[in-house]
Structures are given as structure tokens and as C-alpha cells.
Structure 1
Amino acid sequence: MGEPMRVIAGRYELQRELGVGGMGAVWLGRDQVLGRSVAIKEVRLAPVDAVGTTKLTAAAFREARTAAALSHTHIVPVYDVVEHRSRPWIVMLAIEGPTLLQRVLDSGPLDVDTVATIGASLASALDAAHEQGIVHRDVKPANVLLATDDHPWLTDFGIAQTLAGASSTSCRAKGSPGYAAPEQVRGEPPGPAVDVFGLGATLYYAVEGEHAFSGDDGWATLMAPEFGVVRTPERAGWLEPILLRMLARRPADRPTLTRIREALRTGRLPQRRGPVRGCLPRLRRR
């Protein structure tokens, strides 16, 4: 902030800061070689020693490679990753539009059918990532960009990791309060069901205008899905039983992304055989 306009890696001109998150900032920029607008994520590393900085830089490069390996109409493509002033910078497609979070904050909850359409698109994107062995692990409204006609783009695979590389010793409690699945909070190896939970919490927020789970502080909110119950939806309409199934405490009780996509298009999600375990309210019959 306040710095003069500059060029990084001799190619990317920073124009203006679009937003700041926990791990850095996102800038609107211009690729001077190809003459196109780009979004540039500046990964701001915490002050650590040289070894720690090297590890964090390597992690940022892994993030870029993870996202670059995915090609889908609802996943923000990564063009490049460069190092400038000992910081990694990730160059992506520039999306003109707000995040889903900002849209709800500015204009209020979205209507049920719009949320269902957005949800089906994001489910398709996550399904494509899972087919490549990649779990996003941080699906939330702030990581969904809305372009023209509410075309959703999923971004920020910053804490994603391959299913093959996941292990109980390498996984720690990660994710965002209110959107992290219970098993994720416990530090268990992530599976596709983690993203089903995050997507369910994201769609709940989009249609209700408030979080499915809440606590008195960030830690309490992070732990709420493990020990609390989901708020009873008031605006979700026919989406309610679908969202509640996606937010089930046990991963095995959540539907697959394929079934979710079908349910969001048809308005029906077949009931599981036997009761759904956990502290979620009983689903109302329609």
C-alpha cells in the first residue's frame, strides 16, 4: 500500500491492490509481454529465518503448480509463478467481479435457484480436482469469484494437497472457521468429503446470509461443526435437505459430488438407508 507502481519479474506491472487475506494480497496487474490483464497474488511470508523462508516459498510454488495442473471452466487458471524480493507471486486470470462473500455482504442473500446453479458449477469443479487427486480444503465464499451472469470461479488452492501425499503425520487442523469439516479440524487426512462439507457451508451462507455454524470467537467457530449443530435454515427452501446432508458430521453420511450436482439440478437427493448420524436436525420430509 502506498508504494509506487512497479513491475515484478521484468514483466508484470502492478496496478492496484484488489484485496488482502491472511496469507497475502491480490493485485490487478498487466502482463507487459502478452498485453493482457492478470491477477497477481503476492504471498506475504511471516518473518522467519532463511530456512523457514525457503520452505514457505517452496510451498507457494507448490500451490501454483497444484492449481496450474487443473483445467476447468470454473477453476481460476494459473499462468505463472515468479519470485520477487524473496516473495512468491502467483499470476492468474483476472476475474472482473466480486467474491461470493462480498456479493452477499453488499446485496444480501442470493435466491435459491441462483445458489443451486452456482453450487452445481462448483461441485463440477471440485469433482474435476478430485479426479486429479487434489483436495481444495478451503472452499468458502471468499474463495469463489463471481463474473458476468454469476459465473463462479473457484480460486486459492493454497492449502490443497494431493490425496496420495496426505498422511496422518503431515496433516494438521487447517481450513477456515465455519467451513472446515470436523475431520479436517481434527487433523485427519483429507478426502473428497472435506470439500463437500466446505461447499455445503458456502452454499448455506450464500442462501441464508449467515454461517451454518458459529461460535464466540474464531476457535469456537472452527470447532463448532464437531461439537455443535447447524442453524436451522430459514431461506433455503428446497435446498435445505441437500445442504444438511452435505453438512453431516461423518464424512460417510455426506453425498458424493456427482449426487450433489444431480440433486441441485433436479431438486431431489435420494435418502440414505438408515438414519444419518450426528447432531444435525432430522430432515423434514417434503
Structure 2
Amino acid sequence: MRLIAGRYELQKELGAGGMGAVWLGRDQVLGRSVAIKEIRLAATGATKLTAAAFQEARAAAALNHTHIVPVYDVVEYRSRPWIVMLAIEGPTLQQRVQSDGPLGPDAVARIGVSLASALDAAHEQGIVHRDVKPSNVMLARDDHPWLVDFGIAQPRSCVPADEAPGTVADDLAIVSRAAKGSAGYAAPEQVRGDPPEPGVDVFGLGATLYYAVEGEHAFSGDDAWATLMAPQFESPRRPRKAGSLGTILLRMMARHPADRPTLAEVQSALRLPPRRTCFPRRAHSGAAPLGVTVATSAR
């Protein structure tokens, strides 16, 4: 048995990536299952990454929302930070699409309303997520969405000196993960290194919902670098399966932040039923209808 900080038992590795791994564990003190995120540090930059991990924990722990995974604890073990969170049983949104194909517009709209509400709550606390993407959305029972991984989230007023406007690192891994979000989901101003503002999360959410309903990225390139840079120079591909969601998704991925809707507007748009044309009943006299009425009432 491998015990972390004398309290958390590691049971099974759930997944791993370049920055670390996520384990299913058990809190022996409280007797409950937990997810434990192990941050695997490179030989260089370990101090900065450790600070970033504690920053992630503080950012997420400050939030209390039904669609944000709560953080229980953060500990240091064998010179690595470990973040203890609620254990979610279910796939990520990315895994669901990859296994089952695109979701229907109604399901994506429901997920979108939930995530927009979560991000709005984070923004009210001055926290911008900066890495909204399908692999950071967990789907629990009844497809209840949870937003995870505040690994590059930070207060809007706090921008590290090496991420000041106008600087872009040469290393794609540094650009896309440590500072600028993920390729295909990062807003143009993120890639430029502008200070984080709520609009970057609106963009990321739009690109995430686009992927969920279309089954493909809104932007594409020959490699990760080209995909990361594409939103600065190209418009997103026109959606083919999104139906009535298409308009709001394209607005959310507008190149300029001022052209994007607020998260409140996003929620309102996603709650509206599809627009449909209603033809008045033909009069008893046999007269032809004089016009049409478009129903736009909210649910």
C-alpha cells in the first residue's frame, strides 16, 4: 500500500499526461474515495511548478459551485505536490465524444449552461480558468458536468513577469500549457500573452461545446503549433451538426474579445428553444394566411 502524507492511499492510476497523473485513492481519515492529482516535476523549473500546483489548489478551493470539482487538500510528498479532490466516476467530455460520437444539440446546450454558470461564479471571485477544453470536463451520473483542472488559473490581477504582454515562449509545451492554454481552445489574446480576462474562458467554452456537438475541432492545423495559432488568423469552421447552437458558438469564438457574448448571454442563448416557423390556421373563409410568426419564447 502506498500512502501519501500518512493519510491518502493510492489505489489505481486513472490517467497520465505530460504534467503528471491522476490516481483513484482513499482518505483513510474520513473514509471516502478521492481523486489525487500527482504533479510530476521536471529537473528544471520544479520550484515554479510546485508553486503553480499550490496555486491551482487555492484557486479551486476558493470556489463553491455544483459544477466545479471541489479540492479537499494539497500536500507535498517526496518533493512533489499532490492535489486531493472529489472523485468523479465517469469519462471526460473528450472521452465521451471519442467513444460514442458527437452529442446532440440539446445535451450540449445543457452542458454549456452548467459550465457557463461555473465559469461565471469563478469570474465573480476574480479567477479565470484559462484552460477550458473537453478533457477538463468530467461527466458524472446523468451527464452532470464538472469543470476540473485549474492548473493555469490565476487571479486576473496577478500576471507573472515572464507572461507579460508581448512575450511568447519558443517552446510549444510552455506556451500551450504553462502559460497560454491548449491548442485549439486558447483564445488569440492568450497566445499573445495578454493578461487573463473572462473572455478567454468564453472562447474556450465555445470551442469545447463546438467539439462536443460537431465531433471535431473548430480550428485545425498541420501540427499543434499551427492549431494553437489558427484562431489569430482564421475563423472557426461553420458548424454542420449544431443546429440552433451554431450562432452562439461562433460568437463565443469571435477573434476579438469585445465581440464575444458574456457568460450570462451564453446561458440565456443556450436555454432558448430552437426557432421555428408557425403558420396561422387558414381562415374559415378560405383566405390564404397573410404572414408567419416566429416563436422565440424561453423554456
TM-score by length of 1: 0.89
Unmatched 5+ stretches in structure 2: 169-174, 276-295
User: Does structure 2 conserve the Cα–Cα contact (< 8 Å) formed by 1:178 and 1:222?
Assistant: yes
> Partner of 1:46 in structure 2?
42
Q: How many residues align?
A: 263
> Partner of 2:18 in structure 1?
22
Task: Deviation per CA, 1:82-141: give whole Å up to 9, x if none.
Answer: 011100000000000000000000000000000000000000000000000000000000
Report whether the alignment pairs 1:208 with 2:222: no
> Partner of 2:172 in structure 1?
none
Deviation at 1:21, TM superposition (A): 2.1
User: Does structure 2 conserve the Cα–Cα contact (< 8 Å) formed by 1:168 and 1:188?
Assistant: no
> Partner of 1:13 in structure 2?
9
CA 1:169 to 1:84, structure 2 compared with 1: closer, same or farther past 3 Å? Answer: closer
Q: Within 2, Cα distance between the matches of 1:170 and 1:201? A: 23
Matched AA of 1:246: M
Report whether the alignment pairs 1:182 with 2:188: yes
User: Does structure 1 conserve the Cα–Cα contact (< 8 Å) formed by 2:188 and 2:232?
Assistant: yes
Q: Within 2, Cα distance between the matches of 1:192 and 1:134? A: 8
Deviation at 1:59, TM superposition (A): 1.7
- Kindly report the root-mean-square deviation, in angstroms, between the aligned alpha carbons of the 2 structures: 1.6
Report whether the alignment pairs 1:222 with 2:228: yes
Matched AA of 1:54: T
Point out the structure with max Rg over C-alpha.
Answer: 2
CA 1:191 to 1:168, structure 2 compared with 1: closer, same or farther past 3 Å? Answer: farther
Deviation at 1:53, TM superposition (A): 2.2
Q: Within 2, Cα distance between the matches of 1:55 and 1:190? A: 19
Tell which deviates more after alignment, 38-47 or 227-236. 227-236
Task: Deviation per CA, 1:157-195: give whole Å up to 9, x if none.
Answer: 000111111378634551100000000011111100000
> Partner of 1:266 in structure 2?
272
Aligned pairs for 1:1-286 (under 5 A) are 5-48=1-44, 52-166=45-159, 170-171=163-164, 173=175, 174-267=180-273
Deviation at 1:267, TM superposition (A): 4.3
Q: Within 1, Cα distance between the matches of 2:135 and 2:258? A: 27
User: Does structure 2 conserve the Cα–Cα contact (< 8 Å) formed by 1:168 and 1:189?
Assistant: no
Deviation at 1:227, TM superposition (A): 1.0
User: Does structure 1 conserve the Cα–Cα contact (< 8 Å) formed by 2:156 and 2:197?
Assistant: yes
Q: Within 2, Cα distance between the matches of 1:167 and 1:41? A: 24
> Partner of 2:284 in structure 1?
none
Matched AA of 2:190: Q
User: Does structure 2 conserve the Cα–Cα contact (< 8 Å) formed by 1:168 and 1:187?
Assistant: no
Deviation at 1:47, TM superposition (A): 1.4
Matched AA of 1:190: P
Deviation at 1:55, TM superposition (A): 2.6
Q: Within 2, Cα distance between the matches of 1:268 and 1:187? A: 38
Give the secondary structure class of the aligned counterpart of 2:163. coil
Matched AA of 1:36: R
User: Does structure 1 conserve the Cα–Cα contact (< 8 Å) formed by 2:93 and 2:139?
Assistant: yes
User: Does structure 1 conserve the Cα–Cα contact (< 8 Å) formed by 2:73 and 2:84?
Assistant: yes
